[in-house]
Copies of this chain bind each other. A is one copy, B any other.
Amino acid sequence: MVKSEEGITAKKDENFSEWYTQLILKSDLADYSSVSGCIVFKPLSYAIWENVQKVVDKEFKKIGIKNVYFPLLIPESVLSKEKQHVEGFTPEVAWVTQAGNTKLSEKLAIRPTSETIMYESYSKWIRSWRDLPLKLNQWNNVVRWEFKHPVPFLRTREFLWNEGHNVYSNKKDLEKDKDAITKIYQDFLKNHMALPSILGKKTDHEKFAGAESTYSLELYLPNGKAIQGPDYHDDGQNFAKAYGIKFLNKDGKEEFAYQSTYAITTRMLGIMFAVHSDNNGLILPPRMAPNKIVITPLMFEKDEKILDKAKEIHKSISKYDPILDERTEVSPGWKFHEWELKGIPLRVEIGPKDIEKKQVVLVRRDTGKKTSVKIKDINKNIEKELDDMQANLLKKAQKLLYDNMIEADNLKDAIKGIREGKIVLVPLKNSHQAEKILKEKTGGAKTLNIPLNQLSVKNKKCISTGEQADYWVYVGKSY
């Protein structure tokens, strides 16, 4: 409680980074730990992560995905089988070399992701077309020992995620898989986290190590940086060939399988906190908030009459499992600030005058709007305010994103946009060279993704190389 008794002193639009750090600590979301780059998920943020799991898992189950658990540790020899994949990850792998006082004969990697160990098993389990599709998912922890500056939720050396690993007998089913899973993620971000996102395909330069194509959902942070959210990798037959995942097709011939991997991580929590919150503290979309309502009786010392009424109300709206703040050692104003800081979506105030009028006052966390409602109509009004708040947060986040997306068909305009913190849609050539020049000329921007619905690039020149462009692609400074 000590820390939360003090509000955020930095301003979101002046010093985003300091504001974000204070938000995370003072809203009681997380704390630093004695391991550099790893955070403690406190009850509030962990309950939100449990909500993510619950909703996304339900959608996964609807399309036949089942949960499993594979070992945390991966022998070096297993990790090394797919060349590009291992090159992408080894710089960040945490290695176990010793157990007790015994030096291990082979180093064990803490999973940075589980393709390698899962596909060893897949190659044993899959024999015939009857074994396909195989759709397995893990909700687990992974470690990537990044050396960049760590930021709670947004960049941590250990994070939590889902890692789904599906296997199909043909390319067409894999295509449907991509559509279904990217839809699950995008709908979840929009309808639950109140976050709009840009779905597209990564360029060859930016795709996942070992994948044939990577699809990503890109989001926008209030500090003018793009940030990658959930992703989906079409692995084609790459891993199948490296790990020997073969099946007998209906004609009795052996074929390599087609695979996909997909993930949503605890980074999304950080993005959600950053986009919606304000200088008074945390703002959570009601659908993601573990506690949606706090009831604060307006009393400076214990007042049985008000307290009884507050309890009566507590009971009548029990389906929301509201918090009843009965404390008398702090003032109502103090309580308001504290619950604002902690992001409770709706406050129900009840004072002596309200009792006379048989009403309560509902106060919205996002707008501060106060509405007096009759006690008998409270449930219906709560539902309305929570729905309105959910919609309002999405609308605001959409405005933030769309106001910061522009189109530029020449380098000069693109540079100007990027300097202003925009995501810029530009024509580009599909080459590492084009991305390298883009990065140099713009002071660090990179390609985000190629929108699936493409405008024509006929007669459009690549803004980097001046050659004929291959596609329109979003570029920007990325987190």
Q: Which of A34-42, A182-190, A361-369 contacts B (4 or more CB under 8 A)?
A: A34-42
- How long is the Cα–Cα vector from A82 to B75 in the complex, in angstroms? 32
B39, B96, B121: the one within 8 Å of A71 (CB)? B39
Known: A67-B46, A120-B34. A91 touches B96 (CB 8 A): no
Q: Which of A140-148, A172-180, A303-311, A387-395 contacts B (4 or more CB under 8 A)?
A: A140-148
- Smallest CB separation, A33 vs chain B (Å): 5
Q: Do residues A94 and B73 form an inter-chain contact, with CB atoms below 8 A? A: yes
B33, B96, B136: the one within 8 Å of A121 (CB)? B33
Q: Which of A98-106, A219-227, A252-260, A444-452 contacts B (4 or more CB under 8 A)?
A: A98-106
Q: Do residues A145 and B100 form an inter-chain contact, with CB atoms below 8 A? A: yes
- Smallest CB separation, A468 vs chain B (Å): 40
Q: Do residues A40 and B91 form an inter-chain contact, with CB atoms below 8 A? A: no
Give the number of copies in the complex: 2
- Provide the A55-83 mask, 1 if CB < 8 A to any CB of B, else 0: 00000000000111111111100100000
Please classify how large the interface on chain A is, using the bins under 10, 10 to 19, 20 to 34, 35 or more.
35 or more
User: Does A312 have its Cβ within 8 Å of any Cβ on chain B?
Assistant: no
Q: Do residues B40 and A69 form an inter-chain contact, with CB atoms below 8 A? A: yes
User: Does A316 have its Cβ within 8 Å of any Cβ on chain B?
Assistant: no
- Chain B residues whose CB sits within 8 angstroms of the CB of A93 once the complex forms: 99-100
Q: Which residue of B lies closest to A329 (CB)?
A: B130
- Chain B residues whose CB sits within 8 angstroms of the CB of A78 once the complex forms: 34
User: Does A97 have its Cβ within 8 Å of any Cβ on chain B?
Assistant: yes
User: Does A151 have its Cβ within 8 Å of any Cβ on chain B?
Assistant: no
Q: Which chain A residues (9-38) contact chain B, with CB distance < 8 Å?
A: 31, 33-35, 38
- How long is the Cα–Cα vector from A121 to B50 in the complex, in angstroms? 22
User: Does A47 have its Cβ within 8 Å of any Cβ on chain B?
Assistant: yes
Q: Do residues A108 and B46 form an inter-chain contact, with CB atoms below 8 A? A: no
B90, B99, B130, B160: the one within 8 Å of A94 (CB)? B99
- Smallest CB separation, A200 vs chain B (Å): 30
- Chain B residues whose CB sits within 8 angstroms of the CB of A46 once the complex forms: 66-69
- How long is the Cα–Cα vector from A35 to B116 in the complex, in angstroms? 12
- Chain B residues whose CB sits within 8 angstroms of the CB of A33 once the complex forms: 70-71, 117, 120-121
User: Does A336 have its Cβ within 8 Å of any Cβ on chain B?
Assistant: no
- Chain B residues whose CB sits within 8 angstroms of the CB of A145 once the complex forms: 99-100
Q: Do residues A92 and B97 form an inter-chain contact, with CB atoms below 8 A? A: no
Q: Which residue of B lies closest to A75 (CB)?
A: B34
Q: Which chain A residues (244-299) contact chain B, with CB distance < 8 Å?
A: none
- How long is the Cα–Cα vector from A101 to B87 in the complex, in angstroms? 12
- Chain B residues whose CB sits within 8 angstroms of the CB of A117 once the complex forms: 33-35
Q: Which chain A residues (312-345) contact chain B, with CB distance < 8 Å?
A: none
Q: Do residues B110 and A71 form an inter-chain contact, with CB atoms below 8 A? A: no
Q: Interface of A with B (CB < 8 Å)?
A: 1-2, 31, 33-35, 38-43, 46-47, 49-50, 66-75, 78, 90-101, 107-108, 110, 117, 120-121, 124-125, 127-128, 130-131, 136, 140-141, 143, 145, 147, 158, 160
Q: Would you mind naming 27 contact pairs between A and B with Cβ atoms under 8 Å apart? A: A1-B127, A1-B131, A31-B124, A33-B117, A34-B78, A35-B71, A35-B73, A35-B117, A38-B71, A38-B73, A39-B71, A41-B70, A43-B66, A49-B69, A71-B158, A72-B72, A72-B110, A72-B158, A90-B100, A91-B100, A91-B101, A92-B99, A92-B100, A93-B99, A99-B145, A100-B145, A141-B141
